[in-house]
Structure 1
Amino acid sequence: MTALKNDRLLRALLREPVDRTPVWMMRQAGRYLPEYRESRSRAGDFLSLCKNPELACEVTLQPLERYPLDAAILFSDILTIPDAMGLGLYFETGEGPRFRHPVRTAEDVDRLEIADVEQSLDYVMGAVRTIRKALDGRVPLIGFSGSPWTLATYMVEGGSTRDFRIIKAMLYDQPALLHELLARLADTVTAYLNAQIRHGAQAVQIFDTWGGVLESGAYREFSLQYMQRIVSGLIREHEGRRVPVILFTKNGGQWLESIAETGADALGLDWTTDIGDARRRVGERVALQGNMDPCVLYASPKRIREEVSRILTAFGSGSGHVFNLGHGIHQFVDPAHAGAFIDAVHELSPAWHSRVAEG
């Protein structure tokens, strides 16, 4: 494999010295970019775009052509795993993802296909290989998956939900059934992420988008323990270097100490947690990623720069910070404002790493 020309992200995730704070954005390849919308139009629909390795590579690289980002993230979707398990994923216009065969009973769990990720998700692995080759060492490639709990919410509800009523009824009335589903998902996610690493992903992130809807004990029992199971089973050394693992639980600020004990290298933060407080709480155990409110990008470039400065100041000196949004970039953001955000990180962060820069 080609040597990395910019390994700033990987070093920051491992809390190693860097000259400036690395930056990337969740959903950095997406609908806010006109070139992405054109690629999606050529693909026909979102799922066809995900399942075409060449087009997935094309849209993965689009934000890197616009902005000096420190990482690429695989263009895919967290629901590829349930789709490979035979649930019949489709996207309803204006309503998001839907499954033709939701999982509601013990029989439904038993019928789940045990996905051979190399075979059933070969288009994802093809995208990883294609992207790595096209990057030619420019920046590292991040792979990802949804957490077992987050995947289960879609599988049980049959799609997106606002109240989580079906899966929470299962959690309280049939916890053993839900644990069986989550265990199967944890094993599949582990295999899926390991396959991404073998094919070229240089860091991986687990998106626990809906962990924050759980009460504290339920979070530990039904979300965190399965993410820890995944972390314990991941390939941590590949191509001669460590593969960092990032865990991101949206609205998970109350559990940072517990998440830091999973063995992950970094924790993703949403904007509801002060990054300075988070650093004091977790100490040097993990790096922190985040955590600007994506809606700041609707403000003026001057205000964006002020918010970047505030977050850098809150984190303080030294490494162990990857600048990101607190969740994905919104589709109506002006691309120029995203550029102003990235430029502000580049211009303001070296002062917080001055000893490295001087060395």
Structure 2
Amino acid sequence: MTHDFPPLKNDLLLRAARGEVTERAPVWVMRQAGRYLPEFRKVRESHEFFEVCRSPELATKITLQPIERYTGLLDASIIFSDILVIPQAMGMEVLMTPGPSFPDPLVTPTDVGKLNAVVDVNKELGYVFQAITRTRKELKGEVPLIGFCGAPWTLFAYMVEGGGSKTFQKVKTWIFKYPEESKALLLRIADVCVDFLVGQVKAGAQLLQIFDSWAGELSPHDFAIFSFPTLKHISTNVRRRLAEENLSAVPMTLFAKGANHALGFLAENAGYDVLGLDWCIDPVEARRIVGEKVALQGNLDPNVLYGGREAIESTVKRMCEGFRAGKGGWIANLGHGITPGVDPEDMRWFLQCVHKYSSISS
């Protein structure tokens, strides 16, 4: 399938993702189309969360909201969706009340039999592909469009825990008590991720990000056994499939939150162009660990956005100095998603400060 998309006017993100030192850092924010924006909350007044995800028209509208509000300040758009559309495609019910809730989680390995044996992503997740194509056209080339999915370990944790968790007792029971069954399900999830990500590129996504939000809940040993193999499986097979189908390769970002212990190993072995950083590692240290093998993305603590303009400016300045001290590409972002209580004008100030302090001439 070919699409007639408008030419891209701002390729800063794509150049940085490929390791180039850019004239300034491209900047975007995880969850930038979300609850902190009054225009987003207005849409949600009359539409349930997953209803928005499943409507290409509404998903496009919301994806464009921050691009329109912060004209000229954002260097990327990320499609409005949710990592939990994959468990839904696999046959699980997921509610947003307001956090994610699975009425019928996986309790023991026998419950895996309730999942769909085969997942046709075009049938189950075609609404995401339609939203991507529509958004890509409506962006008119202003900025690139990012597609994404959750990492298998993170999705597996939600599917077993039945929602978020403080202890992860249920899913850790699985990996310690049923290690082989856990690895089999993780690989099954990874295969759906591959199909989903390839479909997003076909639909028009220009960069892909994999969110391993719960990576930090695993010990280094368990991360190497239960998360890393699936992350490598995704990067290898997405690239293979794109090449086989004569599709252009797109940069791929891995955000393994809390797994800073694995940065060097991931840079060397995981097969991603960009590694996302949380705020618990210094940029200088991160660059020392990974060398010039990958670009880096991050890593302001999202709660700094509540600290007032002076705190935002000084923290952004320090962050920029840290990333600019090393060589290689850097994409400015928060160290996790923006939170609902942030004043949109403080978000604007954050973006303006990145523009000011990340410039090579600053």
TM-score under structure 2 length normalisation: 0.93
Does 237-246 or 213-222 show the bigger shift? 237-246
Does 301-310 or 141-150 show the bigger shift? 301-310
After superposition, where does 1:1-359 map in structure 2 within 5 Å? 1-43=5-47, 45-67=48-70, 68-93=73-98, 96-113=99-116, 114-235=118-239, 242-260=249-267, 261-317=269-325, 318-351=327-360
For 2:79, the aligned partner's letter is: L
Distance 1:322 1:346 in 2: 12
CA deviation after TM superposition for structure 1 residue 266, in Å? 0.5
Q: Deviations over 1:276-330 (max 9, x none)?
A: 1000110010000000000010112122111111011111255510000000001
Does 206-215 or 34-43 show the bigger shift? 34-43
Does 313-322 or 251-260 show the bigger shift? 313-322
Distance 2:11 2:46 in 1: 33
Query: SS at the partner of 1:351?
Result: coil
The alignment covers a number of residue pairs equal to 350
* RMSD, aligned α-carbons: 1.5
For 1:329, the aligned partner's letter is: I
Distance 1:232 1:110 in 2: 28
Distance 1:248 1:62 in 2: 24
1:87–1:101 Cα contact (<8 Å) kept: yes
Does 26-35 or 253-262 show the bigger shift? 253-262
Query: SS at the partner of 2:360?
Result: helix
Distance 1:210 1:245 in 2: 19
Which 5+ residue runs of structure 1 have no aligned equivalent? 355-359
| Percent of matched pairs sharing the same residue | 46
4+ runs deviating over 4 angstroms:
236-241
Distance 2:249 2:352 in 1: 28
Which 5+ residue runs of structure 2 have no aligned equivalent? none
1:21–1:319 Cα contact (<8 Å) kept: no
Query: SS at the partner of 2:359?
Result: helix
TM-score under structure 1 length normalisation: 0.94
1:297–1:333 Cα contact (<8 Å) kept: yes
Distance 2:197 2:15 in 1: 20
For 1:245, the aligned partner's letter is: M
Q: Are the structure 2 counterparts of residues 4 and 240 from structure 1 closer, same or farther at C-alpha, using a change threshold of 3 Å?
A: farther
Q: Deviations over 1:121-165 (max 9, x none)?
A: 111111111111101111100000000000000101112211111
Query: SS at the partner of 1:42?
Result: coil
